[in-house]
Amino acid sequence: MRNFDLTPLYRASVGFDRMADVLDRALASDLSQHSYPPYNIEKTGENSYRISIAVAGFSADDLSVEVKDGAVIVSGRRAAENEERTFLHRGIATRAFERRFTLADHVRVEGASHEDGMLNIDLLREIPEALKPRRIEIAKQLKAVGKLDA
């Protein structure tokens, strides 16, 4: 894997440190530890998104969704099973997990739902009026036409 030095970005820009931190984390993360549970990120509208996480075997009470420091943190922890069960094959993983999704500026979590073994987290990007594109009218000056006295 390549290592990237983001020092020139820090030297030549102001206010992009959060983006550089996100890049650092993304480049430094080990992909093998981020394979469970599987998830999708989809764009559901012009300014709306949905994170869907496959959480088979987890109830809504076993799951936690938290927004902290510009990230959505999803964790799952099943309560200990009381009964003795003998599995001939155990293919449904129910191990504890924590997954983080870094949010862009002005993206907020609208809500979360748990249905059919899927945890859905709905996100909405709300661009403030001050940052939306706006048209600037160009003022026209009228030139006074006068006669020159000779």
Q: 17-61 pLDDT, tens per residue?
A: 667 677 776 666 655 456 889 999 999 999 999 999 999 989 999
Q: Would you say residue 77 lies in a domain?
A: yes
Q: What is the pLDDT of residue 32?
A: 44
Q: Would you say residue 19 lies in a domain?
A: yes
Residues 121, 89, single domain; the answer is: yes
Q: What is the pLDDT of residue 76?
A: 95
Residue position matching structure tokens 């809504």 = 60
Q: Would you say residue 146 lies in a domain?
A: no
Residues 54, 15, single domain; the answer is: no
Residues 12, 70, single domain; the answer is: no
Apex 57 CA angle, 64 and 103, nearest 5: 35
Q: Would you say residue 139 lies in a domain?
A: no
SS (H, E, C) the chain: CCCCCCHHHHHHCCCCHHHHHHHHHHHHCCHHHHCCCCEEEEECCCCEEEEEEECCCCCHHHEEEEEECCEEEEEECCCCCCCCCCCCCCCCCCCCEEEEEECCCCEEEEEEEEECCEEEEEEEECCCHHHCCCCCCCCCCCCCCCCCCC
Give the C-alpha separation, 57 to 51, whole Å. Answer: 18
Q: Would you say residue 79 lies in a domain?
A: yes
> Could you report the per-residue pLDDT of 98-128, keeping only the tens digit for each?
999 989 889 999 999 999 999 999 999 998 8
Residue 92: CA count within 13 A, CB half-sphere: 8
Range of the domain at 112: 37-128
Residues 108, 119, single domain; the answer is: yes
Residues 58, 77, single domain; the answer is: yes
Residues 18, 72, single domain; the answer is: no
Residues 78, 112, single domain; the answer is: yes
Residues 21, 66, single domain; the answer is: no
Q: Is the dihedral of CA 61, 103, 2, 40 positive or negative?
A: positive
List the CATH number of the domain containing 108: 2.60.40.790
Residues 61, 105, single domain; the answer is: yes
Mean pLDDT of 1-12: 67
Residues 18, 28, single domain; the answer is: yes
Q: What is the pLDDT of residue 78?
A: 87
Residues 28, 42, single domain; the answer is: no
Q: How many domains does the structure of the chain reveal?
A: 2
Residues 19, 76, single domain; the answer is: no
If one compares 9 and 107, the residue with the highest pLDDT of the two is 107
The pTM score is 0.69
